[in-house]
Structure 1
Amino acid sequence: MKLLLNNKRLLFLIVGAGLLVLFLLYLFIGGKDHQEAAMDHSQHQMGGKHAMHAVTLSPAARALAEVQVSSVERKEVRGEVRLFGKVDYDETLVSYITSWFPGRIEKMYLNYTGISVNKGDHMADIYSPKLISGQEELLQSLQALASFTKQDQSSSFVHKNAQANVEASRAKLRLWGIPEERIKSIESSKKVDDVMTIIAPMSGVVIQKHISEGHYVKEGSHIFTIADLSELWVKLDAYESDLVWLRYGQDVEFTTDALPGRTFTGVISFIDPFLSEKTRTASVRVNITNEEKLLKPGMFLKGLVRPLVTSEGGVSTKGFAGKWIAPMHPQIVKDGPGSCDICGMPLVKAEELGYVETEEGMPLVIPHTAPLLTGKRAIVYVQLPEDSSSFMAKKVVLGARLGDYYIVKRGLEEGEVVVVNGNFKIDSASQILAKPSMMKPEGGGKPKTGHQHH
């Protein structure tokens, strides 16, 4: 019983394959007589070489195959590089509040992490015997200088030495972080402060509180860590295949599921020169403004870069050719050499950061549905200019795919017409006729006409 079923299945497969071949012959050849007449007409118009390699379709066959064509053209195309990452603090805007001298924390004005602080706010009071001795030393130096001026004529060397002691005492207090106004207050009041108030050097948010009231600290001990959240970093992971499209200074668009409907923009400020061996990705850092304080460190983001591609396959950014850019602050762009307005570092040419030296032409592109890809080669079917009903296979060398287009490196010329729909059906007919096709670009073999005699 099983043997009978298997035989029936085999018979059905053979019959189905035969019917498919006959259908393709009818569809693309239109019968032996019609094909021979079409080939004779094609030879008369195009010459023997093209006719031997081309497939000719009748108007009815072309309509049934739903053949559509498009011109090979030069066009401005942009790629799409999608990246994923999360928000982080801008490390250049993180300040560590440390103790300038050993002592004991008498009072904490900021008692928990996450609290906002403005520049000039009181942060903590610290008691330090070393600080008290420094103030006393200043007052004693001032008293010695004043007593010297009341004496009669004396050595100018002693007078200069007394003045030097006063300046040294003032300098010591400055090095301990005591502001100039406080030093003048000590000198005018002639009183020593028992505690020193630590003042916030910048506005931001306390992201870490290292100690509590009553703790003793050493010189250099961390007390608070403050971060300015008006500017943030976005750290993205880029696969090695995407790095060729990324450049310093490129604009990046961001979205996050936490804020649907909102789009943020930033600028690439750093591309890691090394790949992670575990993830095979490189870290890409983007500077982003956060004036509304909507973005928060740790938030996940999706990034999108749209590189503009040149005719040679390079990356260009309109307006960057011939410009000078700050290597640490990509938002600083100038027409000529100079220094960064933020950090003072010398500007560098945009070409040194990977941008094209001149505004190159647009790349030669074809729709992404035009090529037939085998893994070893790419084939497109070109409509012959002498006869719009005839199509011939051509091997092409493709560049990257950018959206709905492939860049053409070799094999096609601008203005040629390629098949963008129905190319698989044309390729099937080419294989039946032993003409150049996707699997056999050189052609060969005997055509399967359906009328061979054995």
Structure 2
Amino acid sequence: MSGETRSFLSRLLKPSSIFVLLGELVVVFVLGFAFSQFWGGSDAPSAEASAEHDHAAERGPQLWTCSMHPQIKANKPGKCPICAMELIPLSTNTGPVTGLRQLVVSTAARALMNIQVTPVQRRYVEANVRMVGKVDYDETRLKRITARVAGRLDRLFVDYTGVQVNEGDHMVYIYSEQLYTAQQELIETARVRKAQADAAGADFFATGGIDLLESAREKLRLLGLTQEQIAEIETREKPTDNVMIYAPMGGIVIEKLKQEGDRVNTGDRIYTVADLSQLWVQMDAYESDLIWLRYGQSVTFTTEAYPGQEFRGRIAFIDPVLNDKTRTVKIRVNVDNTEGKLKPDMFVRAIVQAKVAAGGRVIDADLEGKWISPMHPEIVKDEPGDCDICGMPLVRAESLGYVSSKAMENTQPLVIPVSAALVTGTRAIVYVEDPKAKEPTFEGREVVLGPRAGDHYLVRSGLKEGELVVTNGNFKIDSALQIVAKPSMMTPEGGGGHQHGDNASSGTPPKLKDLPISIRQRLIEINTTWQHIQNAAEEENLDAVQQHFGKLKEVVQSVDSSLLAEHPKMLWSELSMLIGNDATEGQTVKTIKSAQQLVGELRRDMQRLDEQFGLAHAESLPQKLVVPAPFQQQLSSLWDAYQKMGDALASDNFPEAQKAVQQFEQSMKSADMKLLTDNKAHRAWMKEQKNLAAIVESLKKTEEIRAFRAQFEPLSAVLQVLAMSFGFGETEPVFLLHCPMAFNNKGAIWLQDNSQTRNPYFGSTMLQCADRTELIAGEKPDAAEAISKDEE
């Protein structure tokens, strides 16, 4: 430090200097404040700051949540107390989370992602099946000219291939020793016949009943001579050295296998003649396109030789064997070629336009109501009859896989654009927009696809008509879900393989006994059906597997998810979607190998269902017992006393509740268990009677309403068992209601004979507190009865 600096600091730190400095600072502050007020300054915040403050106030406090456990809410960042994942910010104005695959974005973000949606429609679509192939000979119109006798070909009148011949044209001049001998036999036999005819008394039986002359003629006919040639030999009475062979049909000579002077044996081929007025077109169809192809379908194709000109034919044969190397099937089309433009081995490009109806069925307007030949598809008539070519009876076109458009007017297939599906095999991930949400909200959906028809996929399950599916931007939505570790196409179970079944309050799977009765019943039925599917798959019984998969789908669809709330509801939505898709595929599985693979997929989903909803406790559900009507009538008085007890608690009337206990005890003791002839029912009543007696004793000892309400909860549990196992009458309705806030949010149930909530645990404080109401026994009263009872 220099001397001048040290001298300056010493003067500055003198007491007198410090006071002077403070005084100057005060003056500067006051003057600055005055000038700011004079020049328009204010103690109010700036417009930007005010707007930001208002926006923050509108947003509310920032919350943080877990992407895997959305029930977790925190006021600051940190780790999830369940899975230890980092919490992510949650916007408070996005509304409640309703699905595990849900994504909410801002309007600006949606515009940046360029998200576009299209409604799911029911409509007819066209599947354009494109194929390539070659023109080929019609095998039924190929004829081989063969040597019927051994001999020497002295002359071939058709001496090169490609010659057009007509039926009856001379083709071969053959010398044959066998033919010469046969001619001589005919001539001699004719002479003998003539001599016998001139001799008196000669008759047919002199030759042993055999017409030797006719036999000689037939022999020559079988050796290839015509009737005219045979007659000429008889008239001439002299055999010839050479015999002419004529063309048996018209056509083009496509093969010449012998030369003049060659020796031939019986059966040797000399020529092959093809009739080119009718041809075949052999094409290859991909395995995935076979669903759209039918016998008799019209096919349009073009050739290199005639660009722009279309030829037509009909499918006559679909090869039953698949080429395992090319994964294609041969398709044969019959084509008329009377103009002669088509040549064998021409390359063709073909297209079949199939109009698709529900279930992947095909509509063909040209064949609607028609009759068609089962061997020659070009023969189509308006009325039944016989085929003009083969004589077989015509059959209805509908019997060959076609469907009438009139019969399908109200069953158009459910379709989505191809761009909407993120395909993962036979299934796909589709994102559906919620049009009622305040901000752009999208939900992932796993759907089962049918075949592709042009620019659309047929949907077998997972979507409804009118829902808005994302056709552009779905990959971006999927990526966003992956970032926040939610189920997506690439991570079906969410990031890190976490399970999504944590209970909304405790972070543990919900117990089966805490679920609504109807939900429990359906889950048990699902588990039972799953056991049947496994057994059928092990026995390799394909029909049984399909049948049980169909039953599984019915049970899954029958679950009333409205009885669930919050995270359990989201969880069931996810699992029911997956299990339902398994069932949809299982109904139409084609091979036992495919069925066993599908059972493996279902096993994983059932394991998740067991982990999340506790199917291991399925035996805790009360079972219906065989109970005589007189015993049910006795229990009805018990039921009346219970209802009086509940009404008294709902009215905060403790004395009336105590009186109802006395009536309840008397009804319980007067029940005649001798009426229970079924041993299982008898044992169940003895068990429940013992439980009731203990609870009644506790109720009698209570001195205030709070303790009474605590004992009313186990009493309700026993009455629930009685209602479901014994019943209070065949039609007596019993409603189970649940209060989630009773006993420090542990929850409790109670029973009523109607669905009008009257909470016995809170009384007038929260009389209408109930998160679910369900009918567990008897029949639900109609509206008129309910109104009448309320008026009373």
Asked if 1:372 corresponds to 2:372, the answer is no
Which residue identity lines up with residue 104 of structure 2 in the other structure? V
1:255 matched to 2:302? The reply is yes
> Hey, what's the Cα distance between the residues in 1 that align with 2:367 and 2:329?
24
Which is higher, the Rg of structure 1 or of structure 2? 2
1:138 aligns with 2:186: yes
Alignment partner, residue 275 of structure 1: 322
Q: Does 1:184 align with 2:235?
A: no
Instruction: Give the Cα–Cα distance (whole angstroms) in 2 for the partners of residues 388 and 159 of structure 1.
Output: 113
- Give the deviation of 1:255 after TM superposition: 2.4
Question: Contact 1:55–1:429 at 8 Å: present in 2 too?
Answer: no
CA distance in 2, matches of 1:52, 1:310: 32
Which residue does 2:413 correspond to in 1?
A: 363
The match for 1:82 is 130
Counterpart selection for 2:151 from 83, 103, 108: 103
**Cα offset, 1:433, TM superposition:** 7.0
1:303 aligns to what SS in structure 2?
A: strand
Whether the aligned pair in 2 keeps the contact of 1:83 and 1:302 (CA below 8 Å) is yes
Aligned counterparts of 2:194 and 2:479: Cα–Cα separation in 1: 108
- Aligned-partner Cα distance in 2 for 1:427–1:151: 109
What residue in structure 2 maps to residue 417 of structure 1?
468
User: Cα offset for 1:391?
Assistant: 3.2
Task: Describe the shift of the 1:83–1:192 C-alpha distance in structure 2 as closer, same or farther (beyond 3 A).
Answer: same
Match of 1:383 in 2: 433
Change (3 A) 1:410 1:39: farther
| 1:415 counterpart letter in structure 2 | G
Q: What residue is the counterpart of 1:93 in the other structure?
A: 141
Using the alignment, how far apart are the partners of 2:101 and 2:228 within structure 1?
96
More helix by share: 2
Cα distance change, pair 35–394 in 1 and its aligned pair in 2 (3 A):
farther
Q: How does 1:166-177 map to 2 (within 5 A)?
A: 166-177=213-224
What secondary structure is seen at the aligned counterpart in 2 of 1:126? strand
Q: Which residue of the partner structure matches residue 198 of structure 1?
A: 245
> How far apart are residue 74 of structure 1 and its match?
1.3
What is the aligned counterpart of 2:287 among 240, 247, 270? Answer: 240
Asked whether the 8 Å contact 1:54–1:435 carries over to 2, the reply is no
Supply the distance in 1 between the matched residues of 2:487 and 2:58 (Cα, whole angstroms): 21
Assess if the C-alpha contact under 8 Å between 2:101 and 2:488 holds in 1. Answer: no
Q: What TM-score does the superposition give when structure 1 sets the normalisation length?
A: 0.77
Gaps (5+ residues) in structure 2?
Answer: 1-54, 62-89, 497-792
- Write the letter of the residue equivalent to 1:106: D
1:149 aligns with 2:200: no
Equivalent residue, structure 2, for 1:408: 459
* CA deviations over 1:406-449 (Å, ceiling 9, x no partner): 1111121112222322334455556667777555678799xxxx
User: Using a 3 Å threshold, how does the CA distance of structure 1 residues 238 and 147 change in structure 2: closer, same or farther?
Assistant: same
Matched residue type, 1:342: I
Give the Cα separation in 2 of the matches to 1:431 and 1:50.
15
Once the two structures are overlaid, the 10-residue window that deviates more, 222-231 or 244-253, is: 244-253
Q: Which runs of 5+ in 1 are unaligned?
A: 1-30, 446-454
Q: What is the correspondence of 1:303-452 to structure 2 with a 5 Å cutoff?
A: 303-318=350-365, 320=367, 325-334=372-381, 339-347=386-394, 350=397, 353-355=400-402, 359-360=407-408, 361-373=411-423, 378-387=428-437, 390-395=440-445, 396-427=447-478, 438=489
CA spacing shift, 1:371–1:163, aligned 2, 3 Å? closer
Contact in 2 for aligned 1:266/1:287 (Cα 8 Å): yes
- Is residue 295 from structure 1 mapped to residue 345 from structure 2 by the alignment? no
Structure 1 counterpart SS, 2:212? helix
Contact 2:427–2:449, Cα closer than 8 Å, also in 1: no
Distance 1:323 1:391, change over 3 A: farther
Asked whether the 8 Å contact 2:146–2:267 carries over to 1, the reply is yes
Distance in structure 2 (CA, Å) of the matches to 1:334 and 1:128: 50
Task: From the superposition, tell whether residues 402 and 35 of structure 1 become closer, same or farther in structure 2 (CA, over 3 Å).
Answer: farther
Q: 1:55 aligns with which of 95, 100, 104?
A: 104
Distance 1:390 1:157, change over 3 A: same
Rounded to whole Å, the distance in 1 between the matches of 2:426 and 2:311 is: 41
Query: What amino acid does structure 2 have at the position aligned with 1:180?
Result: Q
On the 8 A contact 1:42/1:51 being kept in 2, the answer is: no
Which structure has more RCO (C-alpha within 8 Å, separation ≥ 6)?
1
State the match for 1:127 in structure 2: 175
Give the conservation status (yes or no) of the 8 Å contact 2:131–2:350. yes
How many angstroms apart in 2 are the aligned matches of 1:81 and 1:291? Answer: 27
Aligned residue for 1:236, secondary structure, equals strand
Distance 2:195 2:216 in 1: 17
- With 415-424 and 201-210 compared, the bigger mean Cα shift is at 415-424
Structure 1: distance between partners of 2:56 and 2:247: 92
Equivalent residue for 2:274? 227
* Residue-by-residue CA offset, 1:293-350 (whole Å, 9 max, x unaligned): 2222222222323333331124443455676543322223456765432123455565
Alpha-carbon distance in 2 for matches of 1:388, 1:188: 107
Tell me the TM-score normalized by structure 2: 0.46
Q: Which amino acid aligns with 1:419?
A: V
Task: State the AA in 2 paired with 1:187.
Answer: E
Amino acid corresponding to residue 329 of structure 1 in structure 2: H
